[in-house]
Amino acid sequence: MKVLVLNGPNLGRLGTREPDVYGHTTYADLVALCEGTGHELGLEVDVRQTDFEGEMLTWLHEAADHQYPVVLNPAAWTHYSIAVRDACSQLTAPLIEVHISNVHKREDFRQHSYISAVATGTILGLGIHGYSLALRALTTTTP
Ligand code: DQA
């Protein structure tokens, strides 16, 4: 089974970006963790990151057209992008929303997610291990 692991804006800067919030693990570490977990679970994992909303929409459309399950960290788009939400609504396979930080411990503007209502489930506050757990969930979640 092919799975898209999609990451939104600023996540390519993990490791140097606000380490007090996101830790010192790098985006390369995140990719390695997802690929390793995928290998262990027998999943074909395709990990991507973009700072461009239109590119993210194209990837979500690709997932919709191929019925690929998606692990998505929408980053800041979580909190304001109806376009990303609308693209997520078109998915028919499971969608797991992941956040590295516990957004509920943070600023008021991070308290609402446009994505959660259309996600199969959400994992947050567990660092990059949330991605690994999300991939495991996909092997047990029925579409
Ligand atoms: C994030 C949380 C968002 O509020 C923030 O804008 C991000 C990362 C997380 O993984 O904790 O960029 O999605």
pLDDT tens readout for residues 81-135: 999 999 999 999 999 999 999 999 999 999 999 999 999 999 999 999 999 999 9
- From the candidates 22, 27, 68, 114, give the one annotated as an active-site residue: 22
Residue bearing the CA closest to ligand 1, atom 6? 76
2: which strand partners? 44
* Tens of pLDDT, residues 2-50: 999 999 999 999 999 999 889 899 999 999 999 999 999 999 999 999 9
Is pTM beyond 0.90? Reply is yes
Residue bearing the CA closest to ligand 1, atom 9? 99
Task: Write down all domains in the chain, each with its CATH number in brackets.
Answer: 2-140 (3.40.50.9100)
- Give the residue-averaged pLDDT of 72-79: 98
Ligand 1 atom at minimum distance from 101 CA? 11
Q: How remote is the CA of residue 140 from the centroid of ligand 1, in Å? A: 26
H/E stretch holding 91: none
State if residue 131 touches ligand 1 by the CB under 6 angstroms criterion.
no
Count of residues in the chain:
143
Q: What are the C-alpha distances in Å from 46 to residues 4, 22, 25, 100?
A: 5, 22, 19, 19
For the annotated binding site, the residues are 73, 79, 86, 100-101, 110
